[in-house]
A and B are shown apart, each in its own frame.
Chain A
Amino acid sequence: MNVVNKLNESTTIHWHGMHLPAVMDGGPHQIIPPNTVWQPYWKIKNNAATYWYHPHLHEKTQEQITKGIGGLLIVRDEIESALALPRTYSVDDIPLVLTDRDFNSSNQFTVVPYGDSMLTNMTLRAQYSLPAQVVRFRILNAAIERSFNLGFSDGRNFAVISSDGGLLNAPVTVTKYLLHAGERIEILVNLSGQKGTSIDLQAFNSLLGNNIPGGEQFTQGPFSNFLGHKDFNILHINIGNQTTNPITTIPTKLTANELLKVADVNITRKLTLSDSAGVSGILGPNALSLTINYLILTISSIKCR
């Protein structure tokens, strides 16, 4: 990677989800000063899936992400490539980066936890034409706080095929999927035989409780926003012609993940993570507030349950 920082301030670029050495990670400690180049390198060890990269500078991450810095990483491997899945980028394999932003009266971003406007791939009120066949979406929640309770306007089924870390063993059929900030999924939806019609991919956030980001109804203060606890459109889909070699069925098996066995666990520790909307200082393991340079656990080669 040749990462050139032409901003007037420092930044970092973190490779979110990538399995790599700590010195290549791009966390808050790996500052790229203005007008310098950072050249991390690593061997891809990840499973095929959708990952992303974004700034991670201490106390500047929210502002720099709000302004639009970020990108997707798509890893492919032999297992994924051997499956009959849609994989023609922008035709039947569509990246969707979900964010919400607040614009002031001069159309400029304001740096707030929740925006009033949905942006899909930085597009307001987005629409796209898709072929009448099985289509894949690679969906990233790149919002600052908001979760998206994803589903289609007609309540149709869709199949989740991949999570943050790679393919699931088999597709999981759902009608809703709650995607939290930073999380990625890949889904398949069958548009076969529906040429000339349209559907909407939506966030059904009115179904969320106020313990879920985006389910709250803040009417004032820094967290107040237009989209809270509401349903809204993410993508209007116009269904058009099939492509020449369409995928028309959803595979029944995808991969064989090797999971850690509970029986192999030799140390058990209990960590409780909690959050309270908008209240700082009580997010953290074992209800301790997170402080910089505070080491809670040192884990050497143990297996975690």
Chain B
Amino acid sequence: MKKAVYIVFILIQVNLYSQYNNLWIPDTLSGTQFNLTIKDTFAQLVSKGQQTITSGINGKFWGPTLL
């Protein structure tokens, strides 16, 4: 019994690990003048638990795509 519970637990873990997250696509900015603000912030990068301290440009991490 204990073994069976343990196997179920492992299967749940595997299932959680294999779950996909939707790809984030950076916003765009276009034109000839661009405003970029770099700041410290945080983001929920890992699906469970604490947010991650990040730095981003105009957002939580990374920055806009400049066209």
A interface, CB within 8 angstroms of B: 1-8, 11, 13, 53, 64, 67-74, 76, 89-90, 94-95, 97, 103, 106-109, 119-128, 235-236
Contacts and interface: CB of A to CB of B under 8 A. Distances in A.
B51 A121 contact: no
Nearest to B25: A90
Contacts of B55: 7, 64, 67-69
Given A5-B38, A6-B39, A7-B38, A89 B65 contact: yes
Interface string B9-26: 000000001111111111
Interface residues of B, number: 40
Nearest first, the 10 closest Cβ-Cβ pairs linking A and B are: A71-B63, A68-B61, A127-B20, A6-B39, A67-B55, A128-B23, A126-B23, A4-B37, A68-B54, A72-B65
Nearest to B58: A71
B40 A8 contact: yes
The A interface, classified by DSSP as helix, strand, loop or mixed, is strand
Interface string B30-67: 00011111111001011101111111110011111111
Nearest to B20: A127
A4 B38 contact: yes
Contacts, number: 134
Nearest to A90: B25
25 contacts: A1-B33, A6-B37, A6-B39, A7-B40, A7-B55, A68-B55, A68-B60, A70-B57, A70-B62, A71-B26, A71-B62, A71-B64, A72-B26, A72-B65, A74-B65, A89-B67, A94-B23, A106-B50, A121-B25, A122-B62, A123-B23, A123-B24, A125-B18, A126-B21, A236-B20
Interface centre among B25, B47, B56, B64 (most CB of A within 10 A): B25
Given A127-B23, A236-B20, 12 more contacts: A1-B34, A2-B36, A4-B38, A74-B65, A107-B52, A109-B53, A122-B24, A123-B24, A124-B45, A125-B21, A126-B22, A128-B23
Nearest to A237: B23
